[in-house]
Structure 1
Amino acid sequence: MWISTLVLCLLSASAEVPVTPPVPLEAAPPVMPADVPPPTTPVTVLLRLTIDEGGEVSRVEVRESAGVAFDREAMAAALRWRFQPARRGEVPLEVQADVPVSFVPPEPVAAAPPAQEPPAQEPPPSPAPEQPPAPELPQEEKKAAAEGPSFATTVRGQTSAPPPAAVGDFQIAVGQLADVPRNSATDLLLLAPGVMLANHGGEGHADTIFIRGFDAGEGKDVEFRLNGVPLNEVSHAHGHGYADTYFIIPELVDSLRVTEGPYDPSQGDFGVAGTVEYQLGLKRRGLTASTSYGSFASRRLALVWGPPESSEANFVGLLLRQGHGFGPNRAHANAGAMAQVEFRVGEETRLRLFGASYAARFSSAGVVRETDVVDGRMPCAADADSQFFCLYDPNQGGAAQRHLLSAELQSRLRRGGRFVQQGFVVMRQMRIRDNFTGFLNDVPPVGEQPRGDNTEQYYRGTTVGLRGRYTPGLTWWGQPQPLELGYVARFDDVLTRARRLRDSGGAPYATLFDNQVRTTNLGAYAALRLAPLSWLTLRGGLRLDSFLFGVEDQNRPASDRQGERIPEESIEAYGFFASPRVSAEVRLSPRLTWLTSAGLGARSSDAAALSDAELAPYARVTAAETGLGWRLAGDGRHYELEARGALFATRVSQDLVFDETAGRNQPVGPSQRLGAFATARYTSHERLDVQASVAWARATLPLPDASPYKVWEGAVMPYIPQLLGRLDASVRGDVTLAGLPLGWNLALGHSAIGPKPLPLDRFSEPIFLFDVAARGRWKWMELGLSVENLLDARWREAEFNYVSNFRGPDAPASLLATRHFVAGAPRTFRGTLTVYLDLQDEEQQP
């Protein structure tokens, strides 16, 4: 046989769940290269193949070269091979395999064939650890396997993953940590170190994200993508870059990639503190129905279905949520649907269609003054809890709609290259009403009382775009040199508007801004990875972005010094930015890696702040990071352990800080950060999964003319916690009760948040939260109970310090700043019933 041995690298096979290797279906031998003389002795090229869950060879690398010509033909042949995928139980796996490919010279023509010697016997392989028998393959697969080449296999390695661009580049498999109580897909971000979430606007309002020492608002400093579709909304009335991920169904999130810092050339606009991409997939096939009921009349119904005979890329999901909320004016109701289907449209091409639709309405209690709560002056019952969860303005809340469609075409090229082309369209509408200052800002007509500071922010937009990337599969000096070329073309047509509303009746009485915005973003990047030495890998790239802004300001004055005028004005502006990124990876040992990265990034301009013919200013970010990564896996182990730690520094040319008078973030000038993080995750498959992280960051506003290298000096930026800790853990097991086999699960989530600096040298109180969950399963039925905020802490989800007047239009305004807060949820119980239907094999499910 021309292939002698296949060495598989599977993800730490568990003794309880058998692993079956891939079965070759099509494995044609390579073609002898025509541009070199025929060899006189056999020539062997050692390839490392990545065999995906569909049984296709998705990637080929040369491990031992026999020359460029032979390497080229060996790689071209390998890309045409087909396999029945490897499986753990019935779940397909992506694996790596080291495969020697031999080129045997043609035998010379002779009058009589030479005497044949008996074939040399290879020494017997070392005995492998005893494993339970693998599940029997279907008859069709048996027949295909019998007709193809035979392979000797040894189970002993791990799955491949995209190489990280930095120590803070995390490809996070949700896995068993999905058992930890979470309210939305946004909460999955807590699996990345140094992340904190807060929400001042109600269940349906996007979370404020604190990451890597940034107050990233609702997305201004973090680029969000869902299966490649951008989610940040340009020039949103509530904040430039607003990104709402509440519509994502958590059960359909397979993994997420969190790249902290601007180190990957594929990162685009808003990737200042990093980029988050949700990757969808449904591993559990069949129909799963889950319904829950909990405290404060919270109800949830989730239905997800994966056709049993298809891959995890095919799914349908429906999610309905409703509840009264944990206090007055906190009710919410929303519904969402997501579906994806993948077609094979050719021998080497797949088409993936994805769609989502979502609608929501929610109420918000807003902020309250701490002095009014302590003194018992809130308009609620006099007991402490009623005062803590009370509100001033019942007219706060919002509503949102989103409709999304994406089509992605993936083609594999003959020489190992790949081409991916994606088109998408997003339609979005949102209205938010907030009141942060009461009756402070309004200047009423003479003789009239203040009308209130309630602000209505309205956004309606359509986004259409294309994304693509091309990997040509180049080979230099006998080694593959991964090169990736990519582009993005995005057009946004947006109506963004903010108005003041009367406290009585809610009618608008003043327009703050009213803009029709059209933005075109064209970007391209090139990234290359080189390995000049066996222990050194270099990665680098360059990204170019250009923006064209067209703004029609529909809120200009009706007259000026020269007389009457039309209250509209058109503005055009253009911006261009180049951002190089580079990293160097040094392998200190087979398990220990030292990685150093540096890069530039940018945030585009909010169109509302532009002037005509302006070369649009960017917020430029310069970042650097160095740290270590260590991983223990494979070699027959039934567990994995991975740890990382890094030190980073970041400088931003134009930062934003929340302004209570505007109800949104406003420019404050340059800022800088110095920080560090450490994280570790231990996984014993299908049994125990534990992840812990701790992060520290100091964000400051540098003094004028200060040295850019002294990133620890300057005034501390408000609202950003300096110390964050997080623990997620899940343990599963089996027990027999009264002769019935039952599965059980216990899960814990813990967040520790250090004091946050507030304006005027004030600090918030530290926060410690514990969430627990327990589940029990018998065959197709599962019962669960979760408790969030187990210790029933009275914590403050968001906290501010400024001047306000909530005592009424007749009360004189105080000029003394005081602490304001948004109450966090008290202890919350939720019971869940889950039913698993249409399963092919009930024993494979956890």
Structure 2
Amino acid sequence: MNIKQYALPLTGALLLPLSAPAFASEANEMEEIEVNGHRANLIGEAISASVGEVSQEDIEIRPILRTGEILETIPGMVATQHSGSGKANQYFLRGFNLDHGTDFATSVDKMPVNFRTHAHGQGYTDINFIIPELIQDLTYKKGSYYADVGDFSGVGAADIHMATSLEQSQLQVGLGEDNFYRGLLAGSTSTGVGELVYGLEYQRYSGPWSDIDENVRKKNAFLRHTWGDDQDNVSITFMGYDNGWNAPDQIPQRAVDEGVITERGSLDQDVGGETYRYSLSSAWNKSFDDDHLNLSVYAIRYKLDLWSNFTYYLENPCPNGTPEPGNGNRCGDEFAQKDRRDIYGWDLSYVMQDEWAGFDVVNTVGSQARYDNIGEVGLYNTVRRRDVDVVRSDKVQEWNTAVYWQNQWQWTDKLRTVLGLRYDYFHFDVDAQSARDPSTLAANSGSKGEGIFVPKFNLVYTINDQWEYYASVGQGYHSNDARGVVQTLDPISGEAVDSADPLVKTFGYETGVRAFLAEQLNMSLVLWSLDVDSELIFVGDSGATEDTGTSSTRYGLEATAYYYLNDEWTLDLEYSYTEASYDHDLEFEPANGSAPVFSNKIPGAIPHVVAAGVNAQFDNGLFGNMRVRYFSEYPLDGGRKGSDATITNMRLGYQFKAPVRLTLDILNLFDSDSRDIEYYYASRINESEPSEGVDDVHFRVYEPRTFRFYAAYQF
């Protein structure tokens, strides 16, 4: 199916009924209904069909297993996990396996979440430091059409806004299967000179795995003080996060088939992680008649120690022919990735309303800067979390400064355009060092700078107060790992390697419509396309670069519908379809020496994603929500396909007239044994297997049906 050739006919067909006032008379007679989240009316405000807002109410009603699933409120986004609960989720959107965030920019009140030159992967996005109950709203914008977003913006961006006040404070206790415990204290209070919002969260969890205790120990703290009103205000915010866990990683299919482990077993019980993230930020918002100034500054301190083992005994078989690690000898492929850094930056914008040649215009000029001072980003060989030797360990300083201009021009009452121009400059400085072979890795030290200019354009036509049409085009980009940008030698073999491109451009365009009918139905339809330049990617798990050798093309369709049936019932449905392919076939060489496999299918590009939900809120205090998420089979390396998967979650509760709220979450309601994620690569699990390993599907199954009960006292 070639969606491009159907784009104009489909859009034309959609426009035929737009002028018909199908709901006009009913809308005039209906009382005004306040709607939130995806049901909000963005006609006259959004600059593309792929922009949306999600309210706290929309987040609060959703049953979630892990914090990263908050991003699944973005239509088409899939959040999975191939490791322990404390690690960043793996995300999929618009035909991209985003890994942990390479091509999707996430921020919290303009403070970036994606980590550059990260030990585990470029753009690493861990949102476990967020307390969901303290989110005010989430805004998302898919595509590369927005001047205020720079790095990691190829597929889109999301900004999570934390609360400046809360309607109610609460003390909440949660209990569940597999030793799940959660305590939360959150609220706000007036200090006489402003508003103080606070939150403390503590969570323990063992998990359902047969031979490993996840031993999650998550602690979160949030403190924000705000002075002023909605137009003129100043705030200071502290966020603190600390976590440790053991990781039930993906496992090979043959280990389950041969009875070595169960589908919820582990081959290495020593993997897991420890991390913390502390930040201090401040925001200043000031109005000057029709102009508005927004300034935020931030400082972040971060640490991660992550132990993994994906190939088991492929590179380092045991000296005694047994899979038990030896004493003092390297046995097994366990490795550690270490990251220590401080980040400093600002985000400044000035919005000016004006009149040019009799037309109303809004100009926004902005400046952004970020400095990553990375004390260490390292890759170590380990045994039972003990360092054996170092593959590479680097100090990195990475600067990014940017300026942008966005012009919104109201040509007529119905037609407006939004033009954006953005320039970014990056400077990479790497000090390579290694205890094993300093002379070899010294050659991987170096500095490099590069700039990039990206234009954006959006056209918006308001057909009437119920329908709006959009056309968007723009360039985005992501930066590559600084180590790959300057390196000249492979850290393992010492052979010469090509350096990675510092900045990789994407080019995207889309057309779509949005409708808001009778204050009840909010829907959209988008046809989009995205091209990615050929690139070299730095792989944190190996400390080297990987060359795809070709460009790629993705295109697809997205449809959403959110229906406010009445004061009690709401329904929603989201569907996305994607075609994704390299522009040339790539070669996959099987470990067993059989004939190579050629394919242009992009591994991890999910063709179909469907999400649906029903929510009920009754006057007697009862409430409930049920959500279903499905994704289809998708390509893996070697011509294989990953399995499709469906999961259903349910939330039931009762709000007493007294300030008590009881909630029951049933996660994986139908006890699906679908797989959260699958990969296809070579590994070795015992000495009898060939030294080159065995190509196999490696997977992580859904956690089984589990019950979690929450009781909250509100004050």
Q: Give the TM-score band, short-chain normalised.
A: 0.7 to 0.9
* Residue in structure 2 matching 1:333, options 209, 217, 227: 217
Match status 1:300 vs 2:215? no
Give, in whole Å, the separation in 1 of the partners of 2:47 and 2:154: 15
1:713-732 mapped onto 2 (5 Å cutoff): 715-732=600-617
Which residue is 1:784 aligned to? 663
Q: RMSD in angstroms over aligned alpha carbons?
A: 3.2
Which residue is 2:374 aligned to? 494
Q: Is the 8 A contact 1:465 1:490 kept in 2?
A: yes
1:40-71 alpha-carbon deviations (Å, 9 max, x no partner): xxxxxxxxxxxxxxxxxxxxxxxxxxxxxxxx
* Residue in structure 2 matching 1:647, options 506, 527, 534: 527
Which residue is 1:674 aligned to? 555
Compared CA separation, residues 541 and 602, structure 1 to 2 (3 A): same
1:452-496 alpha-carbon deviations (Å, 9 max, x no partner): 111100001100111100012222345531110011011110134
Which residue is 2:580 aligned to? 699
Q: Is the 8 A contact 1:184 1:249 kept in 2?
A: no
* Residue in structure 2 matching 1:456, options 317, 329, 336: 336
1:76-87 mapped onto 2 (5 Å cutoff): none
What code does the residue aligned with 1:701 have?
Y
Compared CA separation, residues 313 and 601, structure 1 to 2 (3 A): farther
1:240-267 alpha-carbon deviations (Å, 9 max, x no partner): 1111101100001121111111111001
Which residue is 1:750 aligned to? 628
Which residue is 2:591 aligned to? none
Compared CA separation, residues 260 and 325, structure 1 to 2 (3 A): same
Give, in whole Å, the separation in 1 of the partners of 2:511 and 2:345: 35
Match status 1:371 vs 2:254? yes
What SS does the corresponding residue of 1:186 show, helix, strand or coil? helix
* Residue in structure 2 matching 1:234, options 99, 116, 139: 116
Give, in whole Å, the separation in 2 of the partners of 1:311 and 1:676: 50
CA deviation after TM superposition for structure 1 residue 665, in Å: 8.8
Q: Is the 8 A contact 2:194 2:228 kept in 1?
A: no
Match status 1:528 vs 2:407? yes
Q: Is the 8 A contact 1:314 1:341 kept in 2?
A: yes
Which residue is 1:73 aligned to? none
Compared CA separation, residues 184 and 615, structure 1 to 2 (3 A): closer
Larger Rg: 1
Which residue is 2:516 aligned to? 631
CA deviation after TM superposition for structure 1 residue 807, in Å: 1.8
CA deviation after TM superposition for structure 1 residue 610, in Å: 2.0
1:357-391 alpha-carbon deviations (Å, 9 max, x no partner): 0100011021211112022122xxxxxxxx11111
CA deviation after TM superposition for structure 1 residue 658, in Å: 10
Compared CA separation, residues 245 and 161, structure 1 to 2 (3 A): farther
Which residue is 1:512 aligned to? 391
Give, in whole Å, the separation in 2 of the partners of 1:403 and 1:252: 17
* Residue in structure 1 matching 2:698, options 820, 826, 829: 820
1:302-352 alpha-carbon deviations (Å, 9 max, x no partner): 11112269999742111111011111322211100112221139x974211
What code does the residue aligned with 2:239 have?
A
Give, in whole Å, the separation in 2 of the partners of 1:688 and 1:128: 20
Identity of aligned residues (%): 21
Compared CA separation, residues 611 and 159, structure 1 to 2 (3 A): closer
Give, in whole Å, the separation in 2 of the partners of 1:798 and 1:664: 24
Alignment: residue pair count: 652
What SS does the corresponding residue of 2:265 show, helix, strand or coil? coil
Compared CA separation, residues 578 and 660, structure 1 to 2 (3 A): closer
CA deviation after TM superposition for structure 1 residue 228, in Å: 0.8
Compared CA separation, residues 725 and 530, structure 1 to 2 (3 A): same
1:315-354 mapped onto 2 (5 Å cutoff): 315-327=197-209, 328-329=211-212, 330-344=214-228, 349-354=232-237
Q: Is the 8 A contact 1:437 1:803 kept in 2?
A: yes
What SS does the corresponding residue of 2:233 show, helix, strand or coil? strand
Compared CA separation, residues 567 and 574, structure 1 to 2 (3 A): closer
Structure 1 window deviating more from structure 2 (649-658 vs 352-361): it is: 649-658
Which residue is 1:215 aligned to? 97
What code does the residue aligned with 1:608 have?
R
Which residue is 1:247 aligned to? 129
Which residue is 1:687 aligned to? 568
Compared CA separation, residues 282 and 768, structure 1 to 2 (3 A): farther
Structure 1 window deviating more from structure 2 (750-759 vs 656-665): it is: 656-665
What code does the residue aligned with 1:767 have?
A
1:596-616 alpha-carbon deviations (Å, 9 max, x no partner): 100001111211112289996
Q: Is the 8 A contact 2:650 2:666 kept in 1?
A: yes
CA deviation after TM superposition for structure 1 residue 617, in Å: 2.9
CA deviation after TM superposition for structure 1 residue 702, in Å: 0.8
Match status 1:598 vs 2:473? yes
1:714-772 alpha-carbon deviations (Å, 9 max, x no partner): 7111122111001132211023xxxxxxx010111110110121111111221111111
Give, in whole Å, the separation in 2 of the partners of 1:424 and 1:649: 35
CA deviation after TM superposition for structure 1 residue 219, in Å: 1.2
Which residue is 1:582 aligned to? 457
1:185-196 mapped onto 2 (5 Å cutoff): 185-196=67-78
Give, in whole Å, the separation in 1 of the partners of 2:139 and 2:203: 27
Give, in whole Å, the separation in 2 of the partners of 1:496 and 1:259: 33
* Residue in structure 1 matching 2:156, options 274, 280, 286: 274
Match status 1:762 vs 2:637? no
1:752-808 alpha-carbon deviations (Å, 9 max, x no partner): 110121111111221111111110121211212110001111121121111101225
* More relative contact order, 1 or 2 (CA 8 Å, 6+ apart): 2
Match status 1:807 vs 2:686? yes
Match status 1:619 vs 2:504? yes
Give, in whole Å, the separation in 1 of the partners of 2:195 and 2:530: 37
Which residue is 2:86 aligned to? 204
Which residue is 1:842 aligned to? none
Structure 2, gaps ≥5 residues long: 1-27, 34-38, 489-498, 587-597
Structure 1 window deviating more from structure 2 (356-365 vs 602-611): it is: 602-611
